[in-house]
Structure 1
Amino acid sequence: MTNPAILTVDDDPAVSRAVARDVRRRYGDRYRVVRAASGPDALEALREIKLRGEQVAVMLADYRMPEMNGIQFLEEAMDLFPRARRVLLTAYADTDAAIDAINLVDLDHYLLKPWNPPEEKLYPVVDTLLEAWLSTPDPTVTETRVVGHRWSAPSFAVRDFLARNLVPYRWILADDPEGGRLLKAAGLTPADVPVVVLPDGKPLVAPTESELAAHVGLTTTPASDFYDLVVVGAGPAGLGASVYGASEGLRTVLVEQRATGGQAGQSSRIENYLGFPDGVSGAQLTERARRQALKFGAELLSAREVVGLEAAGAARLLRFSDGTSIATHTVVLATGVSYRMLDAPGLSEFTGLGVFYGAASTEAPSCAGEEVYIVGGANSAGQAAVHFSRYARQVHMLIRSGDLTRSMSQYLIDQIETIGNIEVHPYTTVVGAAGDGHLESLTLCDARSGETRTVATPWLFVFIGASPRTDWLGDAVVRDPHGFVLTGADLVRDGQRPPGWGLPRDPYHLESSLPGVFAAGDVRAESLKRVASAVGEGATAVALVHRYLAGA
C-alpha cells in the first residue's frame, strides 16, 4: 500500500529542494514526499493522488508564489483533502497574512523561513500535525468508485453491471462532498456522471459495458478463434455446461453479454437448492460456479453480445456485435430469459428511475424506511420480497391471481406469511405511473371491482413472465411461437425430422434443429424453470456434445 503523502510547494527551486530534503530526512521512511514548483502543479498532483484513492497527511505551501499564492492553493486543496493538515511557509514580513489565513483556510500552523535547525523549528511542528492527522486519517480507497445521481438510469446501469459481475465498488452521490471532490479532481462536473474511478485513479465518464468490463479485469477477448465448445449465456445452465465441458477436456469458452448468474444470480436467497440447507444467495452460487469453471480451464468472455449463429461446414460460427466471430465444433445455447416489460401508461419513462425489472439488489439499501411494490407471484418475486423486507417499511406484492400457491414454492409462501411488513394484494394490477424525473406514484386496479387507487412510492420491481433471449438466432434453429428453442423429440413430427437436418439419426434430447447446437435451461421449450434443472441440463448437454463429437 502506498505511504501517505506530505506535499511541499514552493516556486523557489533552492528553497523547494531544501524543504523536501528536510522533510524526507525525517519522514521519508513512513511518508511519500511530493514536491511541486507552483500552486497549479501541486493541485494537479493532489488530483492524481485523490483519484488513486491515496492519502495526504500534511501540505506545506509557500505564501509568495506567482499565479497562485499559498493561501489560494491551500483553499483549493481543502476541497480535495479536507482532513490534511495545512502549513503556510512565510517570511517575517508576511506574518500578518499568515495570521489572517488561520481563519480563511483553517490553517493549522505557519512557519517562518528559514527554520534552521529543523530539529528545533520544523520537526516538532510537523510531528504534532502528523499525530493529529493519524487520529483522523483519510480513508484509503482501493476499490472501484462510482459517482452518480440517485435517480439516474445510466448510473443504475453502471452499478448493476458491476454488482452482477461481482466487482466490488463504492457508490458515491455526486452531490455529496466526497463525490464533489472526486469530480473536481477529475476535472468533471455533476453533469458528466456516471463517472467510474478505477483503483489506479483513472476516471471513466459514462462508460459502456464493454469499456467497463475491459477496465475492471473482466476478459472480453477470446484467446483462440476455434473451440470445441462455445456456451452462450452464463446463467446456471451455461455455468453448468462450462464446468462439465472444461473439466472433461473440451476447449470451452463461456460468452455472456451482461453478467454471470442470469436471473438466478440476482436472487437474494435460494433455499431449495440441493446441498445448501441454510440457503445460498444467487451471487454466492454464481461466484462459486464461475471459479469452478475457470479452475478447469474454461474461458469467460464478459460484455460480449452474440448476434448470429450459422453453420460453416462441420463447424459452427458465432458472430459478435463488433463484427468479430469465433468458430467451434459445438454450441450450448443457455441465454435464459428476461422479464417482460410491464405495459402501463407512464412506466416506460421510469425504467431505471424507480422502475426495475428483476431484483436490482443494488437498490435495496436505498429503500430503507420506504414503501416498495413488487409485481409478480413466482419464486423470484417472493425471494425479492423477503430481501427487500429487511430494508423497506412495507413491501407490497401485487398478483393477478387470488393467492401465491399457483406459481410459488411452499417454503417461500410460508416465509412471506411470517414477515409482518410484507402484504400480498390479490387480483391487483398496475395501470399507471407518475412522477417528476423519477417514479413517485402508481395507479393500481382491483380486477374484481374495477376500482382504482393511487399509492405513493418511488420503488417498483417487476417479475412478470419470461421472454427467451433468442431473437438473435433468426432462422438458425427452430423455435416455438414464443421464441423458445425446440429440441429433441419436439423437433420430430409424424416421423419427420426437421428440415435441413441431414443426419441419419434423430436429434438428441437437448439438440436443436442445427446439429451440434444444444439448448439448456430456461431458453429451451418446455424446460423446468428451476436452478437445479438448469444446471442438470447444462451438464447433460455436455454429455450429448461428447456423443456428437464421437459421431454416435
Structure 2
Amino acid sequence: MTQAAEPTRTVIMTVDDDPGVSRAVARDLRRRYGASYRIVRAESGESALDALRELKLRGDPVAVVLADYRMPRMNGIEFLEQALDVYPDARRVLLTAYADTNAAIDAINVVDLDHYLLKPWDPPEEKLYPVLDDLLQAWRCSDHRSVPTTKVVGHRWSARSSWTREFLARNQVPYRWYSCDEPEGRRLLAAAGQDGQRLPLVVTPDGTPLLAPEAPELAAHVGLATTPTADFYDLVVVGGGPAGLGAAVYGASEGLRTVLVERSATGGQAGQSSRIENYLGFPDGVSGDQLTGRARRQAAKFGAEILTAREVTGLDVSGAARIVRFSDGSAVAAHSVILATGVSYRQLPAAGARDLTGRGVFYGSALTEAPSCQGQDIYIVGGANSAGQAAMYLARGAKSVTLLVRGPSLAASMSSYLIQQVEEAPNIAVRTRTVVEAVHGLDHLERLTLRDTASGLSEVVDTQWMFVFIGAAPLTDWLDGTVLRDEHGFILAGPDLTPDGRPPAGWELDRPPYHLETNVPGVFVAGDARAESAKRVASAVGEGAMAVMLVHRYLEQS
C-alpha cells in the first residue's frame, strides 16, 4: 500500500545574523503560526537564499519573509531584493532599529517592501502578530499558486539532457534533476516504463512523462505559452533578449497590443551571463537571469503576451499587415514588427567539437553545468566580456580556469574592470595567441589540443569542460529576400539604408526610413541584430524603447 505524501505547508522565513534574535523571532512565530505554517530560520542572507532556492525547486510556497536590516556581507534590503527574484509573491518585512527607519522607508521603493518592524517587537501580540495576520491574509487572497516541480531524469554526458536542463532553467521553470544512475532516477524511469536507453525523461507537474521532448512540446507541458491568443496585434516583437524585452515592456505599457515571440528562452545571450557589473543602477552587479527575469515579469504585468519555443521562419507584407510566419506553418499578423533576434555564438571550427557539444563542450555560460565543474580544470575560449564574466563565475568553485585568447591580449575586447578582476583571480590563467586545434573524447570531452599561433607549437591538455565564446552571428537568414542586410547578415536600418541620401529600392513612402526602420515600412530592428549596433545590454534595451517610439510615429502616419 502506497503511503500518501505529507502535505506541503506554507513557509514563513526569518533571517537574522544574531543567533539569539533569530531564535527569538522563530519562537514567537511558532507560538502563533506553527500549527498552520512551517517556520524556516536562517542566520545569513546567503544561507537564506540557498534555502529559498531549495524550497522553490520543491514547489513549496513561501508566504512571508522577515529579514534583519543590519546583517554583514548582505544586508536585509539586499537579501530581500534577491529573494524577490525567487519568490516574487512572498510578502516582505524588514526588521530595523529606530536609527535605520530611513533605510526602511527607502526599501519600500527598492524591494516593494510590505512592512517594516522596529526592534524590539515586544509584546508580539501588539507589534508583530497583527502585522503578520494582515500580510498572511493578503497573501492568501492573491494568486500565489505554486507550480509543482518538473522532474528530469538524464545522463551527465547526454547533450539532450543538458539542453533540457538549460531550457527549463533559462525559462525559470523549477525542476529537479535526477541521474539515471541514482535510485530515484531509476524509480522514475521504471514508473514511466522506460529502460533509460533514450534520455532525458521529463515528468511534468501533472505527472505526464515526456521522452526526449522537443522545445514546443516541453514548453506546452510546463506552463509556457506557445500559441498567440489573437490573429492580429499592434506589434509583434521577434526575439526575447534585452532589446525584445525592452520593446515588449514599452509597447505594452504604452497601450499597444503586443506579442513577443522567442524561439528558446527570454534573455538571449545576456540571460546566460553569470554577472553583469556595468549595467546602470546595479552597482553590485546583477546576473543576466535576474535582470531578464524581472523584465519578463514586467512585460507580462503590462499585458504583453510572451510566446516561447516558436521559431520564426518568414516575414511577409500584405497591404498594411506585417505577417510573421512560424516553422509549423501558422502565422500571426500585426500593424508593425520589431526585429530583436539578437545573435548566436559562432561554432568552434576545431575537429571533434561538434560531436562533443553538450557533452563537455558548451556554448555560452551553461550555468546549469557549473555545479558539476567544482574542483575541475576548465577552459574558456574567447576574450570578450562574456568570456571574462564566465571565468569569474566558474572560478569560484573550479580548481583552475584557463582563458584561451586568439589575440595578443584581452584589452581589445574586454572591459578594463573585468580584465583587472581576471588578473587578480588566483586560479585564472590567460593564454594569449592560443587556439583550440582539436577536441578529443569518446562519450564526453577528455582532452584538447592547443596551438600557440606565435610559435606554431601544439600541446595536449586534459579537461572535461570547455565553454566557448568566440564571437556571434546574427539570426537573420529567414529574412532573406525581404529585409536588407549587410554582408555579415546584420540588418540595415535608417541612415545605413540611405548612405547617399536616396531611399532604398522599393521604398514607396514620401519620407525616408526612421532611424531604426528597415527597408520595409513598419518593420524595425533593435539590439545586436542591427548593423553597427553597440553590442551592449544597456544600448539594446534603449533601442527596444526607441523602436516603440518610432512604431507609434509610424502608426500615427499610416
TM > 0.5:
yes
Between the aligned partners of 1:151 and 1:487, the Cα distance in structure 2 is 43
Structure number with larger C-alpha Rg: 1
Change (3 A) 1:5 1:344: closer
From 191, 213, 218, give the equivalent of 1:212.
218
8 Å contact kept, 1:53–1:201: no
After superposition, where does 1:121-270 map in structure 2 within 5 Å?
A: 142-270=148-276
8 Å contact kept, 2:388–2:418: yes
Instruction: Give 4+ residue runs of structure 1 displaced > 4 Å after superposition.
Output: none
Structure 2 spans left out of the alignment, 5+ residues: 7-57, 61-146
8 Å contact kept, 2:59–2:174: no
Change (3 A) 1:142 1:294: closer
Between the aligned partners of 2:193 and 2:326, the Cα distance in structure 1 is 35
Q: Displacement of 1:178 after TM fit? A: 1.1
After superposition, where does 1:439-454 map in structure 2 within 5 Å?
A: 439-454=445-460
What secondary structure does 2:277 align onto? coil
8 Å contact kept, 1:512–1:519: yes
**1:471 aligned residue:** 477
Between the aligned partners of 1:231 and 1:320, the Cα distance in structure 2 is 13
**1:529 aligned residue:** 535
Asked if 1:385 is matched to 2:391, the reply is yes
After superposition, where does 1:324-343 map in structure 2 within 5 Å?
A: 324-343=330-349
From 407, 410, 420, give the equivalent of 2:416.
410
8 Å contact kept, 1:375–1:461: yes
8 Å contact kept, 1:309–1:476: yes
AA at the equivalent of 1:350 = L
Q: Displacement of 1:391 after TM fit? A: 2.1
**2:44 aligned residue:** none
What secondary structure does 1:362 align onto? helix
Q: How high is the TM-score relative to the length of structure 1?
A: 0.75
8 Å contact kept, 1:271–1:280: yes
AA at the equivalent of 1:369 = G
Deviations along 1:385-444, whole A, 9 cap, x unmatched? 011111211000000112111111111111111211111101110001111111110000
Between the aligned partners of 2:316 and 2:470, the Cα distance in structure 1 is 32
8 Å contact kept, 1:175–1:190: no
Asked if 1:294 is matched to 2:285, the reply is no
8 Å contact kept, 2:351–2:437: yes
Change (3 A) 1:330 1:3: farther
Between the aligned partners of 2:421 and 2:444, the Cα distance in structure 1 is 32
AA at the equivalent of 1:438 = H
Asked if 1:401 is matched to 2:407, the reply is yes
Change (3 A) 1:53 1:336: closer
AA at the equivalent of 1:260 = T
Between the aligned partners of 1:453 and 1:541, the Cα distance in structure 2 is 49
Between the aligned partners of 2:390 and 2:499, the Cα distance in structure 1 is 41
Count residues in correspondence: 421
Q: Displacement of 1:334 after TM fit? A: 0.2
Q: Displacement of 1:200 after TM fit? A: 2.2
What secondary structure does 1:210 align onto? helix
AA at the equivalent of 1:4 = A
Between the aligned partners of 1:410 and 1:534, the Cα distance in structure 2 is 21
After superposition, where does 1:61-76 map in structure 2 within 5 Å?
A: none
What secondary structure does 1:147 align onto? strand
**2:140 aligned residue:** none
Asked if 1:424 is matched to 2:448, the reply is no
**1:21 aligned residue:** none
**1:85 aligned residue:** none
What secondary structure does 1:537 align onto? helix
8 Å contact kept, 1:445–1:452: yes
Between the aligned partners of 1:143 and 1:500, the Cα distance in structure 2 is 53
**1:4 aligned residue:** 4
**1:305 aligned residue:** 311
What secondary structure does 1:411 align onto? helix
After superposition, where does 1:352-371 map in structure 2 within 5 Å?
A: 352-371=358-377
Q: Displacement of 1:53 after TM fit? A: 11
Q: Displacement of 1:263 after TM fit? A: 0.2
What secondary structure does 2:167 align onto? helix
Between the aligned partners of 1:283 and 1:3, the Cα distance in structure 2 is 38
Between the aligned partners of 2:320 and 2:180, the Cα distance in structure 1 is 54
Q: How high is the TM-score relative to the length of structure 2?
A: 0.74
Change (3 A) 1:349 1:509: same
Structure 1 spans left out of the alignment, 5+ residues: 7-51, 55-140
Between the aligned partners of 1:284 and 1:240, the Cα distance in structure 2 is 15
**1:487 aligned residue:** 493
What secondary structure does 2:197 align onto? helix
What secondary structure does 2:392 align onto? helix
Q: Displacement of 1:370 after TM fit? A: 0.9
**2:25 aligned residue:** none
Between the aligned partners of 1:320 and 1:277, the Cα distance in structure 2 is 40
Report the identity percentage.
Answer: 66
Q: Displacement of 1:3 after TM fit? A: 8.4
Q: Displacement of 1:4 after TM fit? A: 2.6
